[in-house]
């Protein structure tokens, strides 16, 4: 193998390495794009989950407040009913 053959072979190797580097950089760019897309999708998903969870918590708190008010009203009605029953019983005795 003479010098010209060695130079030709080295040129071929350099061209091959250059092509490998270009393909590698393209794959890295593609990987980075996919990574950024997934990261953005994950962020949107977290934000959506947080929004929905906060809405659920707010609804639960409102329900609990409504139930507490309802229980209070039922207690007041029960007390008023007992009071009415006692008045009726007193009137019946008279």
pLDDT tens by residue, 17-66? 999 999 999 999 999 999 999 999 999 999 999 999 999 999 999 999 99
For residues 66 and 79, what is the distance between their CA atoms, to the nearest angstrom?
Answer: 20
Q: Which run of H or of E encompasses 67? A: helix 3-93
| Sign of the Cα pseudo-torsion (24, 25, 29, 32, in order) | positive
Angstrom distances, CA of residue 17 to CA of 13, 20, 25: 6, 5, 12
pLDDT in tens, 7-31: 999 999 999 999 999 999 999 999 9
């Amino acid at each position: 193998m003479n010098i010209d053959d060695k130079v030709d072979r080295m040129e071929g190797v350099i061209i091959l390495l250059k092509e490998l580097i270009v393909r590698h950089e393209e794959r890295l760019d593609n990987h980075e794009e996919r990574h950024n897309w997934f990261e953005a999708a994950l962020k949107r998903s977290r934000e959506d989950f947080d929004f929905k969870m906060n809405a659920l918590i707010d609804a639960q708190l409102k329900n609990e407040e409504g139930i507490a008010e309802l229980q209070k009203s039922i207690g007041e009605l029960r007390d008023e009913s007992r009071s009415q029953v006692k008045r009726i019983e007193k009137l019946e005795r008279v």
